[in-house]
Amino acid sequence: MKDVFFFGYGSLVNRATHDYRQARAATLPGWRRAWRHTALRPVAFLTAEPDPVTTIEGLIATVPGADWTALDAREAAYDRHPVCDDVRHDLSPRPPVSVYAIPQDRQRAPTEAYPVLLSYLDVVVQGYAREFGPEGVARFFATTTGWEAPILDDRASPVYPRHQRLTTAERAMTDAHLDRLGARIITARPAGL
């Protein structure tokens, strides 16, 4: 059976959040990240959307036995899209690669009722720092839209189920980028969180 791969561009870049061990750096031209929410989750999260002038970095990793069940469950708010001809990586021959994205008709802009979790963003930034260094973190922020979204500071009691321990330097890196963007940090948790 030929290996199949996914392209991760958010929390899946942080290898501590999954068991997909055969992961490697890759880029996806013609796409960007955006903060969105759907009725399927109580908080906002990242999605990928076509954008002809942007390239995003991430990881590709094998889906063992082409069994998408576990990954589809983790990414239940998304649809899976084949992007094998677009992804840039060092594998030969080129394997099938898919990316998860929220369908346009199911996504909305984040609100205070559906904020971005700082614990989730921290996990993403930690992954980009480990894989691509501080420059990769800067590129993550630059190739992501929706920074006007309210960001819930849940660091003291993380809501994100795959939250990670961060160093002081990792937290400071996230905070510096958010400060530069003028991000709106909120502390009041919406009902249900």
Using one digit for the tens of pLDDT, what is the confidence trace for 44-80?
999 999 999 999 999 999 988 888 888 888 888 889 9
Report yes or no on 191 lying in a domain.
no
Report yes or no on 155 lying in a domain.
yes
**pTM for the full model?**
0.94
Report yes or no on 162 lying in a domain.
yes
Report yes or no on 101 lying in a domain.
yes
pLDDT single digits (tens) 155-179: 999 999 999 999 999 999 999 999 9
Report yes or no on 192 lying in a domain.
no
Report yes or no on 107 lying in a domain.
yes
Which pLDDT does position 1 carry in this prediction?
47
Q: What's the structural domain count of the chain? A: 1
**How many Å apart are CA 44 and CA 103, to the nearest integer?**
14
Report yes or no on 14 lying in a domain.
yes
User: Which CATH number fits the domain that encloses residue 17?
Assistant: 3.10.490.10
3-state secondary structure of 166: coil
Enclosing domain of residue 10 = 4-186
Those residues with Cβ within 8 angstroms of residue 107's Cβ, 6 or more apart along the chain or in another chain: 36, 37, 38, 47
pLDDT level of residue 25 (50, 70, 90 thresholds): very high
